[in-house]
Amino acid sequence: MSRQIVLDTETTGLSPENGDRIIEIGCVELLNRKLSGNNLHFYVNPERDSEEGALKVHGISNEFLRDKPKFAAIAMELLDYLQGAELIIHNAPFDIGFLNKELERLRMGRMADHVSGVIDSLAMAKELFPGKRNSLDALCGRLEVDNSGRTLHGALLDAELLADVYINMTRGQNAFGLDDTPDNPTEIQADDMADIDLSAFHLPVLEANAAEREAHERALADLDKSTKGRTLWRKLEPVAA
The model's pLDDT over 37-63, given as tens digits with 9 standing for 90+, comes to 999 999 999 999 999 999 999 999 999
Q: Which residue in the list 58, 90, 114, 153 is annotated as catalytic?
A: 153
**Residue 188: pLDDT over 50:** no
**Residue 186: pLDDT over 70:** no
Active site annotation includes 153: yes
Q: How far apart are CA 143 and CA 165, in angstroms?
A: 7
Domain match, 132 and 235 both:
no
Q: Considering the domain boundaries, does residue 183 fall inside one?
A: no
Q: Considering the domain boundaries, does residue 39 fall inside one?
A: yes
- In which band, very low, low, confident or very high, does the pLDDT at 191 lie, cut at 50, 70 and 90? very low
Q: Considering the domain boundaries, does residue 189 fall inside one?
A: no
Quote the strand ranges of the chain, DSSP E.
3-11, 22-31, 34-35, 40-43, 86-89, 117-120
Domain match, 160 and 213 both:
no
**Residue 182: pLDDT over 60:** no
Query: Which residue among 147, 177, 207 closes a domain?
Result: 177
Q: Considering the domain boundaries, does residue 57 fall inside one?
A: yes
Q: pLDDT value at position 157?
A: 93
Q: Considering the domain boundaries, does residue 191 fall inside one?
A: no
What's the CATH number where 33 sits?
Answer: 3.30.420.10
Q: Are 161 and 147 in contact (CB under 8 A)?
A: yes
Q: Considering the domain boundaries, does residue 36 fall inside one?
A: yes
Q: What is the DSSP string of 200-241?
A: GS--------HHHHHHHHHHHHHHHHHTTT--SHHHHHHHH-
Domain match, 108 and 207 both:
no
Domain match, 86 and 22 both:
yes
Domain match, 28 and 144 both:
yes
The pLDDT tens digits for 96-114 are: 999 999 999 999 999 999 9
Q: How far apart are CA 238 and CA 241, in angstroms?
A: 5
Domain that holds residue 227: 198-240
Q: pLDDT value at position 211?
A: 86
Query: What is the number of domains present in the chain?
Result: 2
Q: pLDDT value at position 213?
A: 86
Q: Are 58 and 26 in contact (CB under 8 A)?
A: no
Burial class (CB in 10 A: 0-12, 13-18, 19+), 123: middle
Domain match, 166 and 203 both:
no
Domain match, 219 and 100 both:
no
Q: Considering the domain boundaries, does residue 188 fall inside one?
A: no
**Residue 173: pLDDT over 80:** no
Domain match, 208 and 168 both:
no
Domain match, 170 and 205 both:
no
**Residue 134: pLDDT over 50:** yes
The pLDDT tens digits for 7-39 are: 999 999 999 999 999 999 999 999 999 999 999
Q: Considering the domain boundaries, does residue 21 fall inside one?
A: yes
> What value does the mean pLDDT take over residues 151-164?
90
Domain match, 47 and 113 both:
yes
- In which band, very low, low, confident or very high, does the pLDDT at 204 lie, cut at 50, 70 and 90? confident
Domain match, 162 and 220 both:
no
Which amino acid is present at 103?
Answer: L
Domain match, 117 and 38 both:
yes
